[in-house]
């Protein structure tokens, strides 16, 4: 999806804003002689920005406005190394609330709803984003924050909350508790707005049934405002994103080449009107694709597909993008199989083709031969890739904390 004229003007304003400052990107762009863009081609020649840049600029190196204009910061928790700090101006906070309110509206939520907010408040962008969007919409916020499940359920019943906002894991926990305590008849929930971490169909089904609600995936990341830059509509056909605030391109994560609409790759986001910390071509490492064409809901906003995984975890077989999470999703429905597995990918020189060897653990009570055949068929029909499957007894494979360690790729790339 190419930039329109308005977006090109907005990006030029962002470049101007940056190059007039001593900010991290201001210095980089000045050094590279970047003064603006006139075409799609110019834009695609701009360098990418990344989380590493933001870490290098810690704490406030990316700030692109004078101190007196910054009203708040948020931070993304760094699992590795330094955290990232993002400064917001009053307009940034305001824009974010507008986008978030639009997410609620897209999910069919109105000012008559009561929105129970369970994500955390504080440095993290989640709770406060859900709250600001709710207030902008004019709905009633029930600002619970995370945890304390007893009180959470009590408030949900007493205040007749109609919307729950949560991470997928907390929504699952709540739904299991409500089912276990036999309280489903007493809750008034109709919809759930769930943070966009990747979650399986199985989990989605449990939450949907346990709470008897419609589910909406909200997308966002701290570096780009926070959650609220996109959400799915009732047609559940991808995530609408707000192209008056952000521009999205999809790139090949290996080469950085921009991919045509419909092709899967890494989401790269450019902020169009951000003041505190504008970001051009920010690599998210989230994998999705732009869905071509209009949605049946008639929304003018473009769509990306639901997030398939992280580019860091992705491996490619016969041109098909695959993720460890996908392997897990397929294996979790196979009887007698443990959650441990290993994937080895190699190139068979004699046949000149890639082969995928999947090693899976199974309990002694099931036939290893039949289980292997079943898994082979499952992969063939669902993914279009047929692995060589080896079944070993439970406890054979090395236990590893990291998903990526389960995949070994011996191909030369
Ligand atoms: Zn739609």
- Over residues 177-195, the pLDDT tens digits come to 999 999 999 999 999 999 8
Per-residue pLDDT, averaged over 369-376, amounts to: 96
Does 79 map to a domain?
no
Cα 62 to averaged position of ligand 1 atoms, centre (Å): 35
Q: Residue 61 Cα, ligand 1 centroid: separation in angstroms?
A: 38
How close is the Cα of 392 to the center of ligand 1, in Å? 45
Q: Domain with 275 in it: what CATH number?
A: 3.40.50.12780
CA of 98 to the centre of ligand 1 (A): 18
Statement: residue 31 has pLDDT above 60: yes
Q: Is 36 part of a structural domain of the chain?
A: no
| Total number of domains in the chain | 2
Q: Which of 264, 280, 311 is the last residue in one of the domains? A: 311
Distance 179 CA to ligand 1 centre (A): 31
Q: Are residues 384 and 291 in the same domain?
A: no
Give me the mean pLDDT over the 139-164 stretch.
96
Residue 236 lies in a domain: yes
Q: Does residue 238 have a pLDDT over 60? A: yes
Q: Which residue has the higher pLDDT, 199 or 70?
A: 70
> How far away, in angstroms, is 92 Cα from ligand 1 center?
26
Rounded distance from Cα 236 to ligand 1 centre (Å): 7
Residue 178 backbone class (left: φ over 0; alpha: ψ -120 to 50; beta: rest)? alpha
Pairing of strands 226-232, 315-317: unpaired
Nearest alpha-carbon partner for 356 in 317, 397, 404? 317
Q: Using CB atoms within 10 A of its CB, is residue 30 exposed (0-12), middle (13-18) or buried (19+)?
A: middle
pLDDT the model gives residue 385: 93
pLDDT, tens digit, 9 for 90 and up, residues 104-114: 999 999 999 99
Burial class (CB in 10 A: 0-12, 13-18, 19+), 327: buried
3-state secondary structure 240-292: EECCCCEEEEEECCCCCCECCCCCCEEEEEEECCCCCCCCCCEEEEEEECEEC
Query: Does a structural domain hold residue 13?
Result: no
Do 275 and 322 share a domain, yes or no? no
Distance 272 CA to ligand 1 centre (A): 22
Write down the H helix ranges in 35-191.
40-44, 51-56, 90-106, 126-137, 149-158, 168-180
| Chain segment 270-285, per-residue pLDDT in tens | 999 999 999 999 999 9
Binned at pLDDT 50, 70 and 90, residue 333 comes out as: confident
- Residue 403: pLDDT band (50, 70, 90) is low
Q: Are 384 and 331 part of one and the same domain? A: yes
Query: Residue 309 corresponds to which tokens in the numbers above?
Result: 């995984």
pLDDT tens per residue across span 282-305:
999 999 999 999 999 999 999 999
Sign of the dihedral defined by the CA atoms of residues 28, 34, 35, 39, in that order: negative
pLDDT score of 358 more than 90: yes
pLDDT at 80: 62
Give per-residue pLDDT as tens, 113-133.
999 999 999 998 889 999 999
pLDDT band, very low/low/confident/very high, at 400 (cuts 50, 70, 90): low
Q: What's the rounded Cα separation, in Å, for the pair 206 and 189?
A: 15
- Give the pLDDT of residue 272: 98
Percent of the chain residues topping a pLDDT of 90: 80
Last residue within a domain, chosen from 311, 328, 345: 311
Pairing of strands 290-291, 226-232: unpaired
Average pLDDT over residues 141-157: 96
Distance 9 CA to ligand 1 centre (A): 27
CA of 88 to the centre of ligand 1 (A): 30
Between 384 and 405, residue with greater pLDDT: 384
Q: How far is the CA of 354 from the centre of ligand 1 (A)?
A: 39
Report pLDDT digits (tens) over 86-103.
999 999 999 999 999 999
Q: What is the mean pLDDT of residues 139-157?
A: 96
Same domain? For 255 and 134 the reply is yes
Same domain flag for 251 and 322: no
Claim to verify: residue 293 and residue 336 sit in the same structural domain: no
Q: Of the candidates 281, 311, 341, which is a domain's last residue?
A: 311
Q: Is residue 59 part of a domain?
A: no
> What is the per-residue pLDDT for 9?
98
- For ligand 1, the distance from its centroid to the CA atom of residue 29, given in whole angstroms, is 37
Ligand 1: centre distance to CA 239 (Å) = 8
CA of 143 to the centre of ligand 1 (A): 28
Q: Is the pLDDT at 267 greater than 80, yes or no?
A: yes
Residue 27: inside a domain, yes or no? no
Residues 166, 297, single domain; the answer is: yes
CA of 190 to the centre of ligand 1 (A): 19
- Shortest CA distance to 213 belongs to which of 195, 238, 188, 233? 188
Residue 287: inside a domain, yes or no? yes
Domain containing residue 375: 314-412
Are β-strands 140-143 and 114-117 bridged in parallel, bridged antiparallel, or unpaired? parallel
State whether 147 and 278 are in the same domain: yes
Mean pLDDT of the region 329-338: 91
Distance 45 CA to ligand 1 centre (A): 32
Are 288 and 365 found together in one domain?
no
Q: Residue 313: which pLDDT band, with cuts at 50, 70 and 90?
A: confident
Q: 202 and 331 share a domain?
A: no
Identify whether 138 is part of a domain: yes
DSSP designation for 69: G
| CA gap 309, 199 in Å, rounded | 9
pLDDT at 245 over 60: yes
Share above pLDDT 70 across residues of the chain, in percent, rounded to a whole number = 96
Residue 328 sits in the same domain as residue 301: no
Counts for the chain of helices (H) and strands (E), in that order = 11, 21
* For range 329-353, the mean pLDDT: 90
Mean pLDDT, the chain, whole residue set = 93
Same domain for 367 and 307: no
pLDDT digits (tens, 9 = 90+) for 57-77: 999 999 999 999 999 999 986
Q: What is the CATH number of the domain that holds 339?
A: 3.30.300.30
């Amino acid at each position: 999806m190419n930039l329109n004229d308005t977006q090109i003007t907005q990006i030029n304003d962002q470049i101007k804003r940056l190059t007039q400052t001593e900010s991290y990107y201001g210095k980089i762009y000045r050094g590279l002689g970047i003064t603006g863009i006139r075409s799609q081609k110019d834009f695609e020649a701009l360098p990418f920005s990344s989380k590493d840049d933001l870490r290098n600029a810690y704490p406030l190196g990316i700030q692109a406005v004078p101190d007196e204009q910054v009203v708040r910061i948020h931070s993304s928790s760094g699992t590795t190394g330094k955290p990232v700090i993002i400064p917001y101006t009053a307009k940034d906070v305001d824009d974010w609330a507008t986008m978030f309110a639009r997410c609620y509206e897209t999910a069919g939520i109105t000012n008559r709803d009561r929105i129970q907010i369970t994500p955390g408040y504080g440095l993290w962008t989640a709770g406060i984003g859900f709250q600001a969007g709710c207030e902008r919409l004019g709905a009633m916020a029930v600002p619970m924050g995370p945890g304390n499940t007893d009180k959470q359920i009590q408030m949900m019943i007493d205040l007749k909350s109609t919307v729950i906002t949560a991470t997928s894991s907390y929504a699952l926990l709540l739904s299991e508790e409500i089912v276990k305590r036999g309280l489903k008849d007493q809750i008034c929930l109709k919809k759930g707005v769930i943070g966009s971490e990747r979650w399986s169909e199985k989990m989605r089904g449990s939450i949907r049934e346990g709470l008897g609600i419609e589910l909406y995936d909200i997308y966002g990341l701290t570096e780009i405002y926070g959650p609220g830059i996109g959400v799915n509509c009732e047609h559940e056909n991808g995530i609408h994103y707000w192209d008056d605030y952000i521009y999205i391109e999809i790139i090949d994560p290996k080469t950085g080449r921009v991919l045509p609409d419909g092709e899967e790759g890494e989401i790269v986001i450019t902020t169009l009107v951000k003041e505190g910390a504008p970001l051009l071509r920010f690599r998210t490492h989230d994998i999705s694709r732009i869905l071509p064409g209009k949605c049946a809901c008639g929304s003018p906003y473009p769509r990306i597909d639901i997030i398939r995984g992280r580019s860091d975890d992705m491996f490619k077989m016969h041109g098909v993008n695959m993720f460890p999470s996908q392997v897990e999703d397929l294996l979790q429905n196979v009887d007698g199989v443990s959650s441990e597995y290993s994937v080895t990918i190699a190139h068979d020189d004699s046949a000149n083709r890639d082969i995928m060897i999947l090693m899976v653990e199974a309990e002694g009570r099931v036939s290893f031969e039949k289980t292997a055949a079943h898994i082979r068929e499952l992969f063939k029909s669902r993914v279009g890739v047929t692995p060589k499957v080896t079944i070993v007894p439970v406890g054979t494979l090395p236990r590893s904390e990291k998903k990526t360690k389960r995949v070994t790729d011996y191909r030369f790339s």
